[in-house]
Structure 1
Amino acid sequence: MRGVRAGLGAVALLGVLAAAPPPRTDAGAESWTAAPAAARPYVYLEGAAGSVLQDTLSVTNPGPRPLTVTLTGRGAPVAFAAATVTVPARTRADVPFAVTVTADTPPGEHRGSVRAEAAGRATVVPLHLRVSGPRLAALTVEDVRVERSGGSGDSGTLRYTLVNRGNTVLAPTLAVRAEGLFGTVLDRPAQALPVSLRPGERVTRTAPWPDPPALDSVTVRLTAAAPGAAPATARADASFASPAGVGALAAALLAAAGTTAYAIRRRRR
């Protein structure tokens, strides 16, 4: 089988859909079927990185005429013994196929599909691949910045980047804490994020800070975590000086200066 050695890259395999769409139906088409051998609901392959995994797709033609079927793989490079098969009337054809897993494919569950098309319709068979090997969960949070809306300091935005440094899919959480000159000004406990990180993936996200201090110098710390991964923390420094805060500080300083001057005059008298 030429072409069987086509590599199964980690990124290409992990980027496929988690579930195959239901097959399209056509009332006018022949009632042919395509399914994994032994009538399984999906193709299941298991092995280590660097191995060649094989299975068989059964195409059944119950109609009175020969049926020509085109076979392709999606989400993973699947090599069939024949990409196009003509199945005689009232006959079943078993077509072998193989998937080659490259040495750099990460351990864990992966998804693909096998597609058979004939007589104006298609059948999609899910392909589940499990790659054995040690699993590593590692997460980092990077490029933390504090941005002020319009430069006024009335509202702020936290911008950060999460990076999956391991070989498993991660569901991260994020906790935020900010310390100012006069104590804690922001304390958000860990919350689940609506994101799923594939191995090697990095995603930049933002979080609103609707009520930052009007006048303060703060240190913001973001702590990201995921099941099986050690917590990762990153920090950023920011200064807030809104017009209202500056005005309040000036008024306080003037009041303090007036009080001090009055006290000095009283002592002199």
Structure 2
Amino acid sequence: MPVLHSPRRSGGLRLAAVAAAAAAVLSCAAAAPAAADEPGWTAEPAAGSAPAAAKAGARPDSARPFFYLAGPSGTVLEDRIALANTSDQEHTITLRGADAYNTADGAFAVRSAEPAAGGGPEGNGTGAGLWISFGASTTVKVPPRTRAVVPFTVTVPPGSPPGDHPAAVVATESGREVGVRVHLRVDGPALAALTVEDVSVRGKGAAARVAYTLVNRGNVAVAPELAIGAEGVLGEVAGRSVRTLPVEVLPGQRVELTEPWPGAPVFDRVALTLTVTAPGGARATGSASVWFVPWGIAGTTGLGLLGLGAVAAAALLLVRKRRIRSGSEPGPGPAPHGSAVPEEAPVPEHELTGAPR
């Protein structure tokens, strides 16, 4: 049975994630939990009560934005979630575990309880979400103005690979879902590894953006930093200094990102280099060679040159025709040495004497 508590009047509890969309994709902030979109009830980790929190030195009454659990494979970890009913009516809330993943643009999301059409990543799951169990407390009735603290376990299967296994606890009622992120790490060697792929440039001038793909090939989640270097043929090109990207790339995930590049040249050939680093020693580079050509000017210039060439050719042809008509066109040159030249037959001469022949 869940433990019920009266809510404190000092304020409502904060959520660990924003409410999900109809497709059940939940975006969780990396900082403090966000407020619920709708009033009625909230969900968050029970304050500082888990063994992992006590081990980390947290005060028993301190708020936790997420669940933090760690242990060897084959172990059973425990924690608790707090459900607070701030309304005047009873709420029936269903709890489940879910796998977490990155969307294409790097957002944190959890898989739906239902299979996705076409077998997409949104449906079901085969990872750490299945390790979470609420026992007989999967469905919880929370009376008005009360707070229920529900325990759950995370059973790490024997032989589970070391590293991070992203998951979430999802609370649902009448189509509304609230997710609380679970940071779960299995003991063992931690490897931070990234690659940068598919580097290209979209747009031009001040609106240019560098597009690229980050792939997490390690076993821990990474929050990468990016620097852009650029070297042009016609001179120095401004890149971008190091900055932390607003994404956390989960193990085995790939995200497609773009970065503003206001220093892109108007006309040049640029060797572009992207350098990505992350805590744990991860470092990777990606490169591309990009031509910047002002096609509007180039097109106008090309048409002008083509027209000038046509005018010159027409003028030469007209001059040649006039020379031929006036007889000033040079005739054929002398015959080659040793070749036979036919002689013209002599014209007969007539003697004008008046005498008949």
Name the TM tier (shorter chain). Answer: 0.5 to 0.7
Q: Which amino acid aligns with 1:163?
A: V
Give the fraction of aligned pairs with identical amino acids, expressed as a percent: 41
| Post-superposition offset of 1:240 | 1.5
Alignment partner, residue 269 of structure 2: 217
| The one of 49, 71, 74 aligned to 1:47 | 71
Secondary structure of 1:185's aligned partner:
coil
| Post-superposition offset of 1:232 | 0.9
**How many pairs were matched up?**
206
Alignment partner, residue 189 of structure 1: 241
* Worse-superposed segment, 205-214 or 176-185: 205-214
> Measured at CA, do residues 136 and 179 of structure 1 come closer, stay the same or move farther in structure 2, by a change above 3 Å?
same
Alignment partner, residue 90 of structure 1: none
> Measured at CA, do residues 96 and 174 of structure 1 come closer, stay the same or move farther in structure 2, by a change above 3 Å?
closer
| C-alpha distance in 1 between matches for 2:217 and 2:40 | 43
Q: Which amino acid aligns with 1:138?
A: A
> Measured at CA, do residues 85 and 182 of structure 1 come closer, stay the same or move farther in structure 2, by a change above 3 Å?
closer
> Measured at CA, do residues 203 and 128 of structure 1 come closer, stay the same or move farther in structure 2, by a change above 3 Å?
closer
Q: TM-score, normalised by structure 1?
A: 0.55
- Contact 1:20–1:126, Cα closer than 8 Å, also in 2: no
> Measured at CA, do residues 154 and 245 of structure 1 come closer, stay the same or move farther in structure 2, by a change above 3 Å?
farther
Secondary structure of 2:238's aligned partner:
strand
Q: Which amino acid aligns with 1:53?
A: V
| C-alpha distance in 1 between matches for 2:218 and 2:77 | 28
Structure 1 residue ranges, 4+ long, deviating more than 6 angstroms after superposition: 18-26, 34-38, 40-44, 114-117, 124-128
Alignment partner, residue 89 of structure 1: none
| C-alpha distance in 1 between matches for 2:195 and 2:180 | 36
Alignment partner, residue 290 of structure 2: 238
| Post-superposition offset of 1:204 | 1.0
Alignment partner, residue 176 of structure 1: 228
Q: More strand by proportion, 1 or 2?
A: 1
Alignment partner, residue 97 of structure 2: 74
| The one of 135, 138, 145 aligned to 2:200 | 145
| Post-superposition offset of 1:199 | 1.0
Q: TM-score, normalised by structure 2?
A: 0.44
| C-alpha distance in 2 between matches for 1:172 and 1:125 | 23
Secondary structure of 2:212's aligned partner:
strand
| Post-superposition offset of 1:212 | 2.6
Q: Which amino acid aligns with 1:48?
A: P
Instruction: List alignment gaps of at least 5 residues for structure 2.
Output: 1-25, 52-59, 81-91, 99-128, 141-149, 174-178, 303-357
| The one of 163, 166, 173 aligned to 1:107 | 163
| Residues 45-87 of structure 1: CA deviation (Å, up to 9, x unaligned) | 54223x1415597xxxxxxxxxxx987443333345545799x
Alignment partner, residue 191 of structure 2: 136
Instruction: List alignment gaps of at least 5 residues for structure 1.
Output: 1-14, 27-33, 58-68, 87-94, 118-123, 251-269
| C-alpha distance in 2 between matches for 1:215 and 1:85 | 64
> Measured at CA, do residues 85 and 180 of structure 1 come closer, stay the same or move farther in structure 2, by a change above 3 Å?
closer
Secondary structure of 2:256's aligned partner:
strand
